[in-house]
Structure 1
């Protein structure tokens, strides 16, 4: 029987090469021009999701959904948030306190390697971020947090590639409950829900697609503090008959008010709105259209071969 922890670790490892080589340019610059709309790197997502599709692992061990998680974390790093604070991290362990990372960087190389090995074999690092809500612990897919601030961003993702109408009501119920659970304990955190569906829903179950659009809108906070800060929907598809299937994003059928760009804009802006001006300086600079270096990336790029 497969070990789910090992499976999840291997799944994230499949994405590492793509993520490390992906551009980390500002999402608010498009061909050098400043834009108000977040410009997601859809090509990176397509490359990531093509890996489990080619390996026929769309549903097995959640690898497809983990590709979505890894991409959204990458987009938050592109937005200028510190790479050490955003989980899943771009290398193992995927969940690790930034204070431990800072300690590792200050240790002599040999000792740092030994400590890192201990972390990988123990419980200091993890593949999952479990966050305490008002009523229960919630495994949260994408997180930005530090002990000094608490969770600033909590993002739940879901992927659905078949049986749309059959499973939609359950996803709605789970998502609404998770929003209430997390927002009740962290009212200032940006709490988001991002849903990825296969575009075959448009042909096979158009009524389920209409319900999906309605669901994504109704999961939002209407001013009562119960819904999500932001919600988003993305359609993807691929050719099952191809020997080398390539995932592609399908944009036009998704209304702009629930599309990916507005979702990422809203999540970033929600974090910046409720934090002091001297926090997340790189993200604020990028949001203003400036070219700002990304905190945390320099060390990752230089040290990943020797330590991680």
Structure 2
């Protein structure tokens, strides 16, 4: 029987080349013009999801969903958040304290290499981010955190490529319970839910698609502190008969109020709204339309100065 930890490690490794070559441009600049709307790099997501589809591993070991996780983390880094704070990281181990990374950069080269080897051997870090909620530990798909702030962003993702109507009610119950669990402990964090479905639902189960849209809207916080900060829905599809299928995003059927762009805008804006102005400076600059470089590795020191 395959080891699930090894499977997940290998799955993320499949995405590394695509992520390393992907542009890190500001999502609020389009053809040189400043936009209020987040411009997701859908082409990167399409390339990532095409990998498990071509390997016929859409459902096995969650590799398809892990592609979604890797992409959303990439989008948060594009938004200007520090790469060391966003999990899953773009390289192994996917979950690792930024303080350890900062220490590695300060150590003499030989010692740093030895420590790095120990980390890669499993002495530190993880493939999963497990976050304590009010009632239970939750494996959270995309996280931004540091010990001095606690979790600032917690994002749950789900992918559904078949049996839509059969499984939708279970996803709804799970999602609502997870929102209550996480928001009760972290009321100021941006807590989001992002759902990816295969576009075949539009023809095979149109009633299930209508219920999906309704579910995504109802999972949001209506102002009572329950539900998610933001929710989003994305449809994707591919040709099963192709020898080399390519995933494509399908946009028009998804209402704008639950589309990907508004979801990412809301998640970023929530983080910036509840943190001091001298934290996440690169993200604030990019959000304002400036051509700001991504934060360097001195971020941790700057953050602690701002807080203390």
TM-score (norm 2): 0.96
Deviation at 1:296, TM superposition (A): 4.0
Deviates more, 1:112-121 or 1:242-251: 112-121
Retained in 2: the 8 A contact 1:116–1:307? no
Question: What is the CA–CA distance in structure 1 between the aligned matches of 2:254 and 2:160, rounded to whole Å?
Answer: 15
User: CA 1:230–1:305 in structure 2 vs 1: closer, same or farther (change >3 Å)?
Assistant: closer
Deviation at 1:119, TM superposition (A): 1.4
Aligned to 2:147: 147
Deviation at 1:120, TM superposition (A): 2.0
User: CA 1:148–1:306 in structure 2 vs 1: closer, same or farther (change >3 Å)?
Assistant: closer
Deviates more, 1:32-41 or 1:106-115: 106-115
User: CA 1:243–1:26 in structure 2 vs 1: closer, same or farther (change >3 Å)?
Assistant: same
Return 5+ residue gaps in structure 1 as ranges: none
Q: Does 1:6 align with 2:6?
A: yes
Deviation at 1:81, TM superposition (A): 0.2
Question: What is the CA–CA distance in structure 2 between the aligned matches of 1:61 and 1:305, rounded to whole Å?
Answer: 42
Deviation at 1:108, TM superposition (A): 1.7
Deviation at 1:6, TM superposition (A): 0.3
Aligned length: 308
Retained in 1: the 8 A contact 2:133–2:185? yes
Deviation at 1:301, TM superposition (A): 20
Retained in 2: the 8 A contact 1:113–1:307? no
3-state secondary structure, aligned to 2:44: helix
User: CA 1:34–1:169 in structure 2 vs 1: closer, same or farther (change >3 Å)?
Assistant: same
Retained in 2: the 8 A contact 1:232–1:260? yes
Retained in 1: the 8 A contact 2:102–2:297? no
Aligned to 1:235: 235
Question: What is the CA–CA distance in structure 2 between the aligned matches of 1:164 and 1:98, rounded to whole Å?
Answer: 39
User: CA 1:61–1:307 in structure 2 vs 1: closer, same or farther (change >3 Å)?
Assistant: farther
Retained in 1: the 8 A contact 2:82–2:299? no
CA deviation vs aligned residue, 1:185-236 (integer Å, no higher than 9, x gap): 0000000000000000000000000000000000000001010000000000
Question: What is the CA–CA distance in structure 2 between the aligned matches of 1:123 and 1:205, rounded to whole Å?
Answer: 47
User: CA 1:57–1:299 in structure 2 vs 1: closer, same or farther (change >3 Å)?
Assistant: farther
Deviates more, 1:126-135 or 1:297-306: 297-306
Deviates more, 1:113-122 or 1:55-64: 113-122
Retained in 1: the 8 A contact 2:18–2:48? yes
CA deviation vs aligned residue, 1:252-296 (integer Å, no higher than 9, x gap): 000000000000000000000000000000000000000111114
Question: What is the CA–CA distance in structure 2 between the aligned matches of 1:9 and 1:298, rounded to whole Å?
Answer: 28
Aligned to 1:93: 93
Deviation at 1:114, TM superposition (A): 1.1
Deviation at 1:304, TM superposition (A): 26
Retained in 2: the 8 A contact 1:112–1:307? no
Retained in 2: the 8 A contact 1:84–1:296? no
Aligned to 1:261: 261
User: CA 1:286–1:125 in structure 2 vs 1: closer, same or farther (change >3 Å)?
Assistant: same
Retained in 2: the 8 A contact 1:69–1:157? yes
3-state secondary structure, aligned to 1:234: strand
User: CA 1:301–1:72 in structure 2 vs 1: closer, same or farther (change >3 Å)?
Assistant: farther
Deviation at 1:123, TM superposition (A): 4.3
User: CA 1:152–1:304 in structure 2 vs 1: closer, same or farther (change >3 Å)?
Assistant: closer
Q: CA RMSD in A?
A: 4.5
Deviation at 1:61, TM superposition (A): 0.4
Deviation at 1:124, TM superposition (A): 1.8
User: CA 1:303–1:94 in structure 2 vs 1: closer, same or farther (change >3 Å)?
Assistant: farther
Question: What is the CA–CA distance in structure 1 between the aligned matches of 2:300 and 2:115, rounded to whole Å?
Answer: 17
User: CA 1:278–1:58 in structure 2 vs 1: closer, same or farther (change >3 Å)?
Assistant: same
Question: What is the CA–CA distance in structure 2 between the aligned matches of 1:226 and 1:300, rounded to whole Å?
Answer: 32
Retained in 1: the 8 A contact 2:50–2:247? yes
Retained in 2: the 8 A contact 1:157–1:193? yes
Retained in 2: the 8 A contact 1:45–1:67? yes
Question: What is the CA–CA distance in structure 1 between the aligned matches of 2:16 and 2:120, rounded to whole Å?
Answer: 17
